[in-house]
Structure 1
Amino acid sequence: MIPKRIVIFTGGRLGTWALDFLTPDDMLIGADAGALFLVEHGLKPHIALGDFDSVTPAQLEYIRETSGETHDYDPIDKDYTDTELAWRLALSKKPQQIVMLGALGTRFDHSLANVHLLRMAQQQGIAASIVDEHNCIQLTADQTKLYNSSYTYVSLLPLSERVTGITLTGFQYPLHEASLEIGQSLGISNKLLLEEGQIAIKQGMLLVIQSRD
Structure 2
Amino acid sequence: MSQNIKAIYIVAGGPQQYIPEYDSYKNVSNTIWMGVDRGVYYLLEKGIIPTYAVGDFDSINEREWEEIKEKVPNIKQANPEKDETDLELALFCALEHDPEKIIIWGATGGRLDHFMANAFMLSKFQKQHPHIPINIMDQQNTLSVYFPETHEIFKDEKKKYVSFIPLSSEIIGLTLKGFKYPLTDKTVEFGSSLCISNELIQQSGTFSFEKGILMMVRSTD
**TM-score range relative to shorter protein:** over 0.9
Q: CA deviation at 1:20?
A: 4.2
Aligned to 1:36: 41
1:133 to 115, 133, 139: 139
When structure 1 is superposed on structure 2, of 163-172 and 119-128 the one drifting more is 119-128
User: Over residues 112-171 of structure 1, what are the superposed CA-to-partner deviations in whole Å (9 max), with x where a residue is unaligned?
Assistant: 100112113321212111000000011111232221111121000001111111111110
User: Relative to 1, partners in 2 of residues 1:107 and 1:28: Cα closer, same or farther, differing over 3 Å?
Assistant: same
Tell me the TM-score normalised to structure 1 length.
Answer: 0.94
Tell me the TM-score normalised to structure 2 length.
Answer: 0.91
Q: Does 2:110 match 1:102?
A: no
| Number of equivalenced pairs | 212
Q: CA deviation at 1:93?
A: 2.0
Unaligned segments of structure 2, at least 5 residues = none
Code of the residue aligned with 1:144 in structure 2: it is H
Q: CA deviation at 1:198?
A: 1.1
User: Over residues 10-69 of structure 1, what are the superposed CA-to-partner deviations in whole Å (9 max), with x where a residue is unaligned?
Assistant: 011335733146252221110001111001110010100111111111101111222121
Q: Distance in 2 between matches of 1:177 and 1:28?
A: 41
Unaligned segments of structure 1, at least 5 residues = none
2:7 to 5, 11, 14: 5
Q: Distance in 1 between matches of 2:175 and 2:15?
A: 33
CA contact (8 A) 1:10 1:100 kept: yes
Aligned to 2:153: 146
Q: Does 2:126 match 1:122?
A: yes
Aligned to 2:91: 87
Q: Distance in 1 between matches of 2:24 and 2:85?
A: 24
